[in-house]
Amino acid sequence: MEISPDSIEYTRWGLAVLNATILYTWGVMLLIVLFSWSVVRRLTSSTDFDFCQNLLEVLVGNLLNQIEDATRQNPARFLPFLGTLFIFILVSNILTFVPGFKPPTGSLSTTTALALCVFFAVPYYGIREHGLKNYLAGYLQPTPFLLPFNIFGELSRTVALALRLFGNIMSGSMMGAILLLLAPLFVPVVMQLVGLLIGVVQAYIFTMLAAVFIASGMEAHTETAKRKQKE
């Protein structure tokens, strides 16, 4: 039994390996880009727009609202990063119900890559907001003795972010495969539906956690900067 789509190899040129994860990741990316391109090409501001434009407008509008709720800041600058994360995870989780599709989010390498993006996005937004010095000073709060714990906290939540998405999606497809052996008639269909729900919830949770991490990084350092100004 395959525990992750990494082990399914199609071709290999020397060191470069084309496995199922890379193939389906590019497939999902191509799908999203082609769909968005075909809709954006004929955007209209009149009232008789078609279903696809409506879908994208609802998606972007709701994303903006949710990000604003989570970060309590102007959501426009977070939208490119967080929206990309959400749409990619959502599409690759929803496509699980297509037979033969192995979700790239069920591989630890994909989820680690996504979590690393969040890991680097937190200092990026923090430094852009407050400057390098103020941001680094935030790690010494409340006392310099807590520096190792602050750093360890950053690392451990990145690991948790990656493992959570991987565990949920991988266990979903694993349970499906096991149930297909045990009870092949109706039970796998129900489990697929539960897996679909879990996939959507996990995409939402991943994005919200990233938003909360970024916002908390920025807020904590805002307090530091304010305290500095008072002194």
Binding residues vs other proteins (CB under 8 A): 1, 3, 66, 69-70, 160, 163-164, 166-168, 170-171, 174, 201, 204-205, 208-209, 212
Q: Is 130 left (phi over 0), alpha (psi -120 to 50) or beta?
A: alpha
Rounded to a whole number of angstroms, the CA Rg of the chain reads 21
- Cα 137 from Cα 185, distance rounded (Å): 59
Nearer to other proteins, 25 or 66 (CB): 66
d(CA 87, CA 52): 15
- Which positions ≥6 away from 22 have C-beta within 8 Å? 104
Q: Nearest Cα to 60, choosing from 78, 42, 73, 47?
A: 78
Toward other proteins, which CB reaches closer, 39 or 203?
203
- 149 Cβ neighbours under 8 A, 6+ residues apart: none
Task: Tell the smallest beta-carbon distance from residue 221 to other proteins (Å).
Answer: 20
CB of 138 to other proteins, least distance (A): 21
Q: How far is the CB of 205 from other proteins (least distance, A)?
A: 4
Burial grade of 79 (CB within 10 A; 0-12, 13-18, 19 or more) = middle
Distance CA 208, CA 82 (A): 8
Which residue number, 50 or 69, has a Cβ lying nearer to other proteins?
Answer: 69
Least separation, in Å, of the C-beta of 94 and other proteins? Answer: 19
Q: Residue 126 and residue 143: Cα distance in Å, rounded?
A: 20
109 vs 134, beta carbon nearer other proteins: 109
Minimum distance between the CB of residue 208 and other proteins, rounded to whole angstroms? 6
Nearest distance from C-beta of residue 190 to other proteins, angstroms: 19
State which residue, 28 or 209, has the beta carbon closest to other proteins: 209
Q: Which is nearer to other proteins, 30 or 159 (CB)?
A: 159
d(CA 220, CA 218): 6
